[in-house]
Amino acid sequence: MHTTPLTTMAMQYQAALQILQKTANDMSKRRTRTEELVPLEDSVGRTAAKDILSPDSTPPFDTAAADGFALVSSATINASPMNPVYFRVAGTITAGEKPPLMPPCRGPDGVLQCYEIMVGARFPDTATEHLIHMDACVWATDVQEVSVSEVPKADPQLGNRFIKITKPVTYNANRRRAGEDISKGDRLIRAGMKIRSSHVLPLASVGIKEVAVEPLVRVGVWSTGREIVRSDVDGPTATKRSSTRYTYDADGPYLMAALKEFGAEPHFLGLLPGDDPAVLEKALGETMATDKFDVLVTTGAATPGRSGFVRSVIEKLGGQVHFHGVAMRPGGTAMFASLESTAPNNGLVSFFGLPGDPCAMAASFRFLIVPYLQFVRGEKADEPLMATLELRCSTRQESEPNMDAGAPVEASMGNDCGPLCMDCFRHGRVTASEDGRRKVVRMTKDQGPGKVYPFIEANCWIHLPHGQEIVQGAMVPCLSLSACRDEKWQ
C-alpha cells in the first residue's frame, strides 16, 4: 500500500469525516462476519440485522381490560334508573383459564345472561356463528348486585346471582380485541435499527426469545507512554508506580468504557512499555495476524515531532495513512490509517493513533472514532442540541494557560473558542435558562488538553465550527459526552 507524505497543513475536519465515511463504507463491504443470534435481553444496544416480524398477535384473544361483567352491549341501549336492565351472572372467568362457551343471550326464563370477568381474562367463546357475541365489559363499580326477587320472571333454579345496570354500556367497552395491539406478521423492528430496552416489551410479548443482530465492531486498544502506569495492580497489564512511572493510565480505561457505551466490542491489549517503536511494531504485527479486530487504537506518540513514532511504524508495516493532523482542537495530531491483515481472509483493519493528553484523546474519540463506528454500522450521525452560548472567562489566560497573563479579550473567538481556522470542541454544561424556555451552555472552567477534572461537571461537547465567529448569545451545536442521545440536559 502506498503512503501519504505528512504535510504541514492539517486537514479540515469535514474533509476528515468524508475520508472516514468512504473508508468505513469500503470496510463494511469487505466484512465477512455474519449476523449473530443473541438472547433478547442481551440485544439491547445492538443493531438489528434484519426486519423482526411478529410471530403472533397480542392479545391473542379478546380479553377484558378491567374487572367487571362481560355482556352484550346492545341489550343495555335503553338502560336508565327508571328502566334498569337485569342480567343473571352465569359464572366467573379468571385470567389464564379457558373460557366457557357463551350461553344464549337469554336464559330459559327470558332473563339476560352475563359472565363476571377478571382483567386479562378471555371473553367467552360462541358455540355457533349465529349467537350474539359478548362484546363489552362493564366496570364492577358501575353495576349493582340485586336479589332474585327484584328481577322480573327470574327462575331461582337457574341461578340466583343478578346485577342491575342503569345506563347504556358502549360497544367494546373495556374489551381488548385480539391483535389490536400487535398483529401476526407486523414489522416490529426494522433492519438497521438499534434495539433499546423499551423494544423488549413488545418483542417479549409475542414470544420472541432471540434476535439476529449485526456483529459488533471489534476494537483493540493500546496505551503508550514511558510515564504511564496501570491501576489494575493485580491484572495482566499491571505496572508499578515509581519515580519514572507516575501517571495512571486514564486513556485506556476511558476508551474501554466509551467504546462499549457506543456499541463496540473493546479489548484492552496492554500498556506498551517505554517509547520504543519496535515494541509497537511487534504488537501490531502479531495482532494483524489474528483476524480478531476490525479497528486498532493507540493513545500517545501521535505527534509529528520527535516523540511521535506511531506513523513511522504504520508506514513500515505498509499501512496507508489517510490523514495525520486535523484542523481541530483539541485532538489535532490524530492519525487515521488502514492496515492489511496478514490473517487468511486478508481483510483491512482501520487504525487510529490518538493523542495521549486525556482531553485531546476524548475529543478525538468522540469526533473521529464515533463517527467512523456509525458509518460502519450505517447509522445516522448524532443530532446536536442547539443551545445559547454563555461565555465564561474574561481573559485569554484563563482559557489558554500558555498565553500572557491578563491579556484582555472580547467575548468572541479566542476566548475559550479557539482560532477561526479550526473546528474547536469544548467540554461544557448544558442547563435550562432561568425562565425554562431555552437551553443554555457554558464552557467548563479549564479547557487544557491534559485536564480531566472538568469532565466531572461537563455533560456535553460544544462544537465551534471553523470560520464562524462565535459571540456570547450565539446558538451553538452541543453533543452529549455519552452515547445516550435522549439525555435530559439538566
Look at residue 404 in the predicted model and tell me its pLDDT. 40
C-alpha cell at 379: 447509522
Look at residue 382 in the predicted model and tell me its pLDDT. 86
| Residue 76, pLDDT above cutoff 90 | yes
Look at residue 379 in the predicted model and tell me its pLDDT. 83
CA dist 346 and 165 (Å) reads 78
Least confident of 25-34, 194-203, 469-478: 25-34
Peptide bond into 330 cis (omega under 30): yes
At a CB cut-off of 8 Å and minimum separation 6, what does 454 contact? 359, 427, 444, 445, 446, 447
Q: Which of 212, 217, 181 shows the shortest CA–CA distance to 195?
A: 212
| Residue 77, pLDDT above cutoff 60 | yes
Query: Whole-model pTM?
Result: 0.72
Q: Which of 465, 263, 485, 456 shows the shortest CA–CA distance to 385?
A: 485
Q: How confident is the model at residue 434 (pLDDT cuts 50, 70, 90)?
A: confident
| Residue 403, pLDDT above cutoff 90 | no
Please report, to the nearest 10 degrees, the dihedral formed by the alpha carbons of residues 399, 402, 406, 407 taken in order. Answer: -90
Look at residue 295 in the predicted model and tell me its pLDDT. 95
Look at residue 402 in the predicted model and tell me its pLDDT. 44
| Residue 456, pLDDT above cutoff 60 | yes
Paired sense of beta strands 348-354 and 335-340, if any: antiparallel
Most confident range, picked from 268-282, 388-402, 411-425 = 268-282
Look at residue 139 in the predicted model and tell me its pLDDT. 96
8 Å CB contact between 172 and 135: yes
Q: Average of pLDDT values for 294-306?
A: 84
8 Å CB contact between 121 and 59: no
Least confident of 23-27, 130-134, 241-245, 375-379: 241-245
Q: What does each C-alpha distance from 76 to 81, 102, 163, 176, 456 come to in angstroms?
A: 12, 18, 12, 20, 64
Residue-range domains of the chain with CATH:
13-33+215-377 (3.40.980.10), 63-176 (2.170.190.11), 385-392+413-480 (2.40.340.10)
Q: Average of pLDDT values for 353-381?
A: 92
Q: Which of 173, 150, 171 shows the shortest CA–CA distance to 162?
A: 150
CA dist 11 and 334 (Å) reads 11
Look at residue 399 in the predicted model and tell me its pLDDT. 42
Q: What is the pLDDT of residues 345-362, one digit of tens each?
A: 667 899 999 998 899 999
Look at residue 452 in the predicted model and tell me its pLDDT. 86
Look at residue 9 in the predicted model and tell me its pLDDT. 61
Look at residue 398 in the predicted model and tell me its pLDDT. 41
Least confident of 91-100, 240-249, 446-455: 240-249
Q: How confident is the model at residue 433 (pLDDT cuts 50, 70, 90)?
A: confident
Average pLDDT, the chain: 84
Write the DSSP assignment of 225-280 as a string of letters: -TTEE-S-TTSTT-----SS--EE--HHHHHHHHHHHTT-EEEEEEEEPTT-HHHH
Q: Average of pLDDT values for 322-350?
A: 88
At a CB cut-off of 8 Å and minimum separation 6, what does 100 contact? 90, 91, 93, 115, 124, 125
| Residue 80, pLDDT above cutoff 80 | yes
272 bridge partner residues: 224
Paired sense of beta strands 85-93 and 228-229, if any: unpaired
Question: Coil, strand or helix: which one is 113?
Answer: strand
CA dist 153 and 460 (Å) reads 76
Look at residue 204 in the predicted model and tell me its pLDDT. 95
